[in-house]
Amino acid sequence: MESDLLRERLAGRPVEDVQATFCAVLVDEWVKQGIGHAVIAPGSRSTPLALALSQRSEIHIEVFHDERSAAFAALGVGLATQRPAILLCTSGTAAAHFFAAIIEASMSHVPMLVVTADRPPELKDVGAPQTIDQTKMYGDVVRWFHDPGVADTTASYSWRSLARQSFSFCIGNSPGPVHLNLPFREPLVGSAIDLPVDSRVRHQMFGRLDLGQADYESVATVLNVDKGLIVAGRGCGNAEEISHLAKLLNWPVLADSRSGCQGIPEAVQYFDSILRSELFATANQPKVVLRLGESPSSKVLSQFITQSQATQVHVSAFEMTADADHQVSLHISTDPATFCRQVQNYVKPNSDSGVLITWLKANTVARSTVVHFFNNSDERLLAPRVSQLVQEDLIPQENLLVSSSMPVRDLEWFGGDCSRLNVFSNRGANGIDGVVATGVGVAVATQRKTAVLIGDIALLHDSSSLVDLHRRHVELKIIVTDNDGGGIFHYLPQATLVNADAFEMLFGTPHGTDLLQLAKAHHLATFDCRSAAELRSALSSPGTCVIRVHTDRNNEVSTHQEVNALVVSALRNQ
């Protein structure tokens, strides 16, 4: 057996060689499982695993000076590939800087294999440098934690199993981050022995149970109504299967920009503006809402569904129910594409197309109104128009990463059909941290042009990820809407309830930073755009760059109100 041969060959070898071989086995098994990316933050204690990773040509390595940036880059790889990147750092507080991205990975169900190097037990609690308690330091946020102790030949039989198990927990029923804490003793540089040949590829995966006929028949009885909606977000499944089901039910599909199904005939992209019409919302209350995948960002949609008191069915590949309003009647944890395909065999075809036609007509009116409004505002480039121009510039299968806060909302509400693109956003925890690094990870993993639509505060928050960006082999367009502060707070009650000076200090938070000078300091090409023509020109430039678009956060609220009022008026007059 391989493990017996391994133990025999390691007999009498020094600790540094045992550790090097342990790491070589882990990496070899991870390669067999299909891992192809590693993101490394430099450090000494992680040397054995860093060297093992560097010696495998199958692993693409990216190095980040800042652990926080490294973690969000690993998140981007997981977002783009649905396979974990290995995220490695040294011991001590370095590991603490991973936490924000780990939280996002957990809440967004993004696989990530976090490996923290550690000091051996004899250096704990004696004041040794870079030594903290790393045991379960990420708590319940990770899917699994394990510390195997310093590598020992007596446990060599378990090394491959450890690698497989860590990978499996990353991509199991509830994908997410896994934490391995690996203590290493000095010397840290050793020579791995030649690994015994083992051509078998063994997978240790957690299977998902398929729904049976009785389950589908039960769900079909809920869906067999004339007035229903399908709401599709990230992770909703196959667009074609959703279209077939929607056509059978004669229901509209309210699809957000990350769903991949905004291009199907039944799709409604401008639902946020439409539902701001009280007349339309009141007249089109659904009886059933089938929610597929994650929820769109629109609070208007969420309130509409809740107020309708419709029966809500949520289908997700993950066990966690997206039910912030606690209104879901039935949560089904299964593959949404399989669900849509199978349930079609049990629902009754709905011959009444009135609901679908009504929503599609409203969508046509809203689209025409929105496009006309922003086309006529090209000389004063507004943030929602930026989202339109960016998505229009990209070709099929290129990447668009959109930051939380206002960018994700502008794209969802006004960006139009994004179904030809790969759209990503960190909407698990909805934070604005690590957006640039996440974009780097997406670009590295896919080797495709990637646009990052981001606000100025989010860019400043992740400015350390600009380090070495000009030397990375990616094409990254960072489009920053710069309104010198936190624009989203102008949409919240604080904007009218708090004294203007206090609001500006606590929420507006102007920073006065010249973002283009910041980008130039990192040797990046820059563009300053104030019109649609200038933005189109900048987007067509080759290579990685930072594109700034000046916007006015004091006027952005009124802009949204104006375009939504025009949609409401157009719907009233149709």
Please indicate, yes or no, if residue 39 is contained in any of the structural domains: yes
What φ, ψ does residue 129 adopt, rounded to 5°? -65, 155
Worst-scoring range by mean pLDDT, 79-93, 179-193, 323-337, 421-435?
A: 323-337
CATH of the domain at 325: 3.40.50.1220
Cβ–Cβ < 8 Å for 181, 135 = yes
Q: Please, which residues bridge with residue 313 across strands?
A: 290, 330
With a pLDDT cut of 70, the percent of the chain lying above it is: 96
Mark whether 405 and 356 lie in a shared domain: no
- The 10s digit of each residue's pLDDT in 397-406 is 999 999 998 9
Residue 95 in tokens: 């590991």
Mark whether 402 and 345 lie in a shared domain: no
Q: Cα dist. 434→23, 333, 395, 425, 462 in Å?
A: 29, 29, 25, 11, 5
490 falls in which pLDDT band (50, 70, 90)?
A: confident
Cβ–Cβ < 8 Å for 102, 138 = yes
Mark whether 497 and 564 lie in a shared domain: yes
CATH of the domain at 424: 3.40.50.970
Assess whether the previous peptide bond of 187 is cis (omega < 30° from 0): yes
Q: Please, which residues bridge with residue 548 across strands?
A: 480, 528
Burial group, residue 564, by CB count within 10 angstroms (0-12, 13-18, 19+): buried
pLDDT higher than threshold 70 for residue 210: no
- The 10s digit of each residue's pLDDT in 115-172 is 999 999 998 888 788 889 999 999 999 999 999 999 999 888 889 889 988 998 898 8
pLDDT higher than threshold 80 for residue 286: yes
Q: What is the pLDDT of residue 346?
A: 94
pLDDT higher than threshold 90 for residue 493: no
Please indicate, yes or no, if residue 52 is contained in any of the structural domains: yes
Mark whether 333 and 414 lie in a shared domain: no
Please indicate, yes or no, if residue 199 is contained in any of the structural domains: no
Q: Please, which residues bridge with residue 316 across strands?
A: 333
Mark whether 481 and 422 lie in a shared domain: yes
Mark whether 129 and 37 lie in a shared domain: yes
Q: Please, which residues bridge with residue 290 across strands?
A: 230, 313
CA dist 41 and 59 (Å) reads 15
CA dist 169 and 242 (Å) reads 29
376 falls in which pLDDT band (50, 70, 90)?
A: confident
Please indicate, yes or no, if residue 203 is contained in any of the structural domains: no
Q: Which helix (H) or strand (E) segment is 101 a member of? A: helix 99-108
Last residue of a domain, one of 361, 386, 404: 361
Sign of the CA dihedral 326, 332, 334, 336? negative
Mark whether 531 and 387 lie in a shared domain: yes
Please indicate, yes or no, if residue 196 is contained in any of the structural domains: no
Mark whether 47 and 103 lie in a shared domain: yes
Please indicate, yes or no, if residue 27 is contained in any of the structural domains: yes
Sign of the CA dihedral 453, 455, 458, 459? positive
Residue range of the domain that includes 434: 377-573
| Helix and strand element counts for the chain (H, E) | 22, 18
204 falls in which pLDDT band (50, 70, 90)?
A: very low
Sign of the CA dihedral 417, 422, 426, 427? positive
Number of domains present in the structure of the chain: 3
Residue of 330, 341, 344, 451 lying closest to 390 (CA atoms): 451
Mark whether 330 and 389 lie in a shared domain: no
Last residue of a domain, one of 309, 336, 361: 361
Q: What is the torsion angle, in degrees rounded to the nearest 10, for the CA atoms of residue 235, residue 237, residue 240 and residue 242?
A: -90
Please indicate, yes or no, if residue 368 is contained in any of the structural domains: no
Cβ–Cβ < 8 Å for 439, 480 = no
Q: Please, which residues bridge with residue 181 across strands?
A: 116
Q: Which helix (H) or strand (E) segment is 409 a member of? A: helix 406-414
Mark whether 239 and 177 lie in a shared domain: no
pLDDT higher than threshold 70 for residue 205: no
Q: Which helix (H) or strand (E) segment is 115 a member of? A: strand 112-118
Last residue of a domain, one of 361, 393, 408: 361
Q: Please, which residues bridge with residue 312 across strands?
A: 289, 328
Mark whether 421 and 344 lie in a shared domain: no
Please indicate, yes or no, if residue 219 is contained in any of the structural domains: yes
- The 10s digit of each residue's pLDDT in 324-337 is 666 787 888 888 99
Residue 112 in tokens: 């990530």
Mark whether 176 and 221 lie in a shared domain: no
